[in-house]
A and B are shown apart, each in its own frame.
Chain A
């Protein structure tokens, strides 16, 4: 089973305290940010800090992601020079408008991998789509590189592009979310949802998380550690769903034992996708069940 990416915790790249503690909150991924959370005058300092943290501190089994500045800002390549060498799991490219953006970034990553003696292709990528144009190009972006582990929605810039604002219900994001989740699944990669910025509105956060899970998203970015537990709860299968999944797997096992290729439950034949879904559900439940102390 592929990695769980229910939660990706944003960590400002110039904040040593948060960088030090980023792994304690139990998010599936940690995203160190060199982009919007870092003042333009501190880009160099944040780069040193994230580089040093990645090469020194231990984060256990957490997936480590670094959001670089976009390449057109003139900072992106400098970010890559440092960060690729620090060997995070994934580079997150912001403001992706087209497949070309991904390919350009990939070219730089590959060059640096070669220069640094890093096996080519080991640095993963994800692309954040943050404009109307990017959303329309979601499919070509999702298919643009083997390195892509997923595509993400960046809502703040996107709603600005649409000349609207974010609402609690998120009606303005319906199309973008639909496009992105569909493009991602077509390409066989993950779809990751945008942040929910009102950290004090837990109810609103849970409602949004429930919706995006239903839509098919694999996870969501979080800006405050407090959002991780409720988010994981949303992504944890219910008792009812689990019982059903167990019943399906039992029926399959029983059919196999009988030497029959056809399993049925309550008189209904069990289709292949149903089995796959049940399997996924059980694995997710297993993964979500225990918080273990990682040897970091």
Chain B
């Protein structure tokens, strides 16, 4: 493990460009290199002392609320011995004075060694990358991409299940949920067998499905979670948002049919794991947390070593 950390990483071409913007830009080899480095950094994520990022500053530009993503980036940087600066609330910043994102990025890039950006507009991270002399990491751009979530999902699957010959069900809001779009695309690189389980109004958009089919990914659609639970290795749950349903009665009906309980899991494979990008609301009963299937809190923790790996690769390349 120490040897892996000390050797000069094999930087794939993406890292020569120094930005992480979309999973579409990752090859399978590039993903594997991030996951391997993340595995070697896990002890540091758990508290082992490190000064790998000593003297380095990470800027967090969050134009939208975030808990897990923002805090895990902050933890990753600090655990590696680096520092973090924050944009702070928009009301008190130059944004409220009408400054463009391009100008904000140019200014903050001057204070830091890398930028992490979350912004409501799609494509904003790519715009930031055009104006930033330091690496940019996309931490969610509207309904667009959230590549670091996908990487930590893949890391969780690799650690807690298997990436090869995987059978996975993506469950819940597959229409608006950006995490499932990126994850489905990345899993197609590993030849996963994917079942899409959602209410009819929240099905995965047609262009994404045809894109996956073109890549030869076995894809099935189902509405009933009970039909698929005994056939998959991973249940990837997502939150069905109340505001997507104009009729509250309809929402309650749909939400209850996608709720996981210990009883429901009696039909599942013994080694089934349950993942969720969090926050959860009603879709996983708290009593499931105690079962051997629950992995969503580990998944959340794995965000730290994965983001450590990205920071190390990007900031060291840019050094």
Same complex for A and B? Answer: no
